[in-house]
Amino acid sequence: MADPRLCQIAVLSSLLIYGMGWLGFDITVGRALLLLATVLGTQAIGDRVVEAPWNWKSALISGLSLCLLCRTNDPGLAFLAAVITIGSKFLIRFRGKHIFNPTNGGIVAMLLLTDQVWVSPGQWGTVAVCAFLMACLGALVVNRAKRSDVTYAFIGFYCALLVGRSLYLGEPLTIPLHRLESGALLLFTFFMISDPKTTPDSRAGRVVFAALVAFGAWYVQFRLFRTNGVLWSLAACSLAVPLLDRLLPGGRYTWAGKAGEAGKAGKAGRETLPAYPAYPAVPVL
């Protein structure tokens, strides 16, 4: 499969179908179609405005992620979440790179705007087989996208913080292990923080970024006592990516023929498929 986004779409679609058909996800077919149609339509409008090709693959990935994580009883709010998710890619940019992971930014924005939107972290249950399957499929995707370093760094740091806290408090290790048995955490680890368009350009920068997100998630959960710590932390730490790119520079990622970096793709003579062509200058909001 040439474009790793096609692999992501296949995996996320399979997870959504499995969740709706066998795990009882609290999302209807109609709501899923609303979210998917809205992200694709918003992407089409945005690309038309900036005179770029329709980037339906990235939009579909964002829409599927919203279907898996974002919950609300109001279809209007679901529509707004999808519009914000895609719109942020066009409006909140720095030097041609969008700041926030689209799905993360859309969900966090809705959590801030209303109390009628929530995330269902435990909807997958704690079935070991399901968790193992998600981890394996996620590892496949991030390895194809050349961002497995940030995924493994994050889960390593986060596990160390959870286990370290339990050891310090004298808790049995079953407690941190239970906290890690979350489908939403696996989805975040393998499909959200690993987004190659919003992570730092260099490997060193991505490792530092993963450490910041892990600590932020731990702090939100155990010091501020709020849910969805990983989502809040990723949104906040994404603001530091431009600084990390400046301090620890690296090659800018593009979607290439075999998920390589832009430079490697150019040397190999393969056609590079940029997720976002060079847009006119847009101020950061």
Chain segment 211-233, per-residue pLDDT in tens? 999 999 999 999 999 999 999 99
pLDDT digits (tens, 9 = 90+) for 97-122: 889 999 999 999 999 999 999 997 66
C-beta atoms surrounding 41 within 10 Å: 14
More confident: 171 or 146: 171
Tokens 């109001």 belong to residue: 74
Look at residue 196 in the predicted model and tell me its pLDDT.
86
Look at residue 191 in the predicted model and tell me its pLDDT.
84
Look at residue 22 in the predicted model and tell me its pLDDT.
81
Tokens 């004298």 belong to residue: 170
Look at residue 250 in the predicted model and tell me its pLDDT.
86
Mean per-residue pLDDT over the chain, rounded: 84
- Supply 241's token pair: 């990516």
What would the 3-class secondary structure string for 202-245 be?
CHHHHHHHHHHHHHHHHHHHHCCCCCCHHHHHHHHHHHHHHHHH
**DSSP letter (8 states) at residue 238:** G
- Please provide the distance, in angstroms rounded to a whole number, between the alpha carbons at the two ends of the chain: 36
User: Could you give the CA distance from residue 188 to residue 210 in angstroms, rounded to a whole number?
Assistant: 12
More confident: 253 or 216: 216
Judge whether residue 35 has pLDDT over 70: yes
Mean pLDDT calculated for residue range 26-37:
96
User: Could you give the CA distance from residue 152 to residue 156 in angstroms, rounded to a whole number?
Assistant: 6
Say what the pTM is.
0.84
Look at residue 66 in the predicted model and tell me its pLDDT.
96
What are the helix and strand counts (H, E) for the chain? 13, 4
More confident: 267 or 194: 194
Q: In sequence order, what DSSP letters do the residues of 102-127 get, joined into one string? A: HHHHHHHHHHHH-SSEEE-TTTTTT-
Look at residue 274 in the predicted model and tell me its pLDDT.
41
Mean pLDDT calculated for residue range 56-83:
96
Confidence of residue 267 (pLDDT cuts 50, 70, 90): very low
More confident: 8 or 227: 227
pLDDT digits (tens, 9 = 90+) for 52-62: 999 999 999 99
